[in-house]
Amino acid sequence: MQWKKILIVLAGGILVCAFMWFHLGRFLTLEALKANRQNLVEYHAAHRSATAAGFMAIYIVQTALSLPGAAVLSLAAGAIFGSVMGTVYANIAATIGATLAFLVTRYLLRDAIQKRFGTKLEALNRELEARGLNYLLFLRLVPLFPFFLINLAAGLTRLPLRTFILGTMIGIIPGGFVYVNAGASLAAVTALSDIASPRVLGSFALLGLFSLLPVLYNRLKRGKARPHR
């Protein structure tokens, strides 16, 4: 069993090193996307299925390995496929990639973490098993928490896999659509930082807080149910 974990770590390490060695990040910039947009659109017009499959494969690998470039890939989805289908492709690919990162982290590290900190994490694990979807939606919607870090941290807990998949797929729709829709009008985008305005980020934060309402209600209900001394 140990050699399987070593192989997984080696494979991931080789892919990450290859990404850096060949400077592949230069293709995942706003400037590179603008320069190659017309070629990508023309290739998609001639090879629709291959373009969609290739795009999703790249997005899955990028997300699974926690590499930079997710924002540019979301813009590319809008530039190539349009707002609707771009959101669909990006959402599915990001969810699959995040799930792979979650599963690999769980396979490699969860048992060791639970063995060492199991008693300290028991309350957290019980809460995630009961209301994990609400917490995950909050983390996905509020843009303060790095996407890749949530994937890795969730894998170390007892958060159910189906909850992780559902929470990720739903939670990334608003933010994903903002970037994909911006990509559909790529010429108007001058910097990645201009895409998500403070008003948009505030709306995401409100959605995230709304997802926690059932949790807050249950806490309040339990507090009232406790006998007063």
pLDDT digits 0-9 by tens, 140-162: 998 778 999 999 999 999 899 99
> Which single residue is written with the structure tokens 């995040």?
98
pLDDT of residue 127: 87
Please tell me the number of Cα atoms within 13 Å of 23 on its side-chain side: 2
The whole-angstrom separation of Cα 138 and Cα 72 is: 23
The whole-angstrom separation of Cα 195 and Cα 188 is: 10
pLDDT of residue 72: 96
Tokens of residue 182, six digits: 């911006």
C-beta of residue 197 within 8 angstroms of C-beta of residue 91: no
The whole-angstrom separation of Cα 76 and Cα 181 is: 10
Quick: pLDDT tens for 56-99: 999 999 999 999 999 999 999 999 999 999 999 999 999 999 99
Which position has the higher pLDDT, 215 or 84?
84
What does residue 29 show for φ and ψ, rounded to 5 degrees?
-125, 160
pLDDT of residue 215: 81
Mean pLDDT, range 172-193, rounded to an integer? 91
C-beta of residue 133 within 8 angstroms of C-beta of residue 161: no
The whole-angstrom separation of Cα 139 and Cα 204 is: 10
pLDDT of residue 96: 98
